[in-house]
Amino acid sequence: MAVLISLIVSLLVSAVVIYIVSRLNLGLTVSSFTNAFLAAIVIAVVNAVVFWLLGALGLTIGGGFLGFIVLLVIAAVVLMISDRFLPGFTVNGFTGALVAAIAIAVVSWLVTWLLGLLGIVV
What is the rounded distance in angstroms from the CA atom of residue 68 to the CA atom of residue 89?
25
SS3 (DSSP) at 60: coil
pLDDT in single tens digits along all 122 residues of the chain? 778 887 888 889 899 999 999 999 888 999 999 999 999 999 999 988 988 998 888 877 777 888 888 889 989 999 999 999 888 899 999 999 999 999 988 888 888 888 889 887 66
Question: Can you tell me the distance from the alpha carbon of 49 to that of 114, in angstroms, rounded to the nearest whole number?
Answer: 30
Give the whole-angstrom CA distance, residue 50 versus residue 45.
9
Q: How far apart are the first and last CA of the chain?
A: 15
Q: What single letter denotes the amino acid at residue 93?
A: G
What is the pTM for the complete model shown?
0.84
The pLDDT assigned to 122 comes to: 63
Q: Is there a contact between 28 and 92 (Cβ–Cβ < 8 Å)? A: yes
pLDDT of residue 105: 87
Cβ(98)–Cβ(30) under 8 Å? Answer: no
> What is the distance between the alpha carbons of residues 115 and 119, in angstroms, rounded to a whole number?
6
Under 8 Å CB-to-CB from 4, ≥6 apart: which residues? none
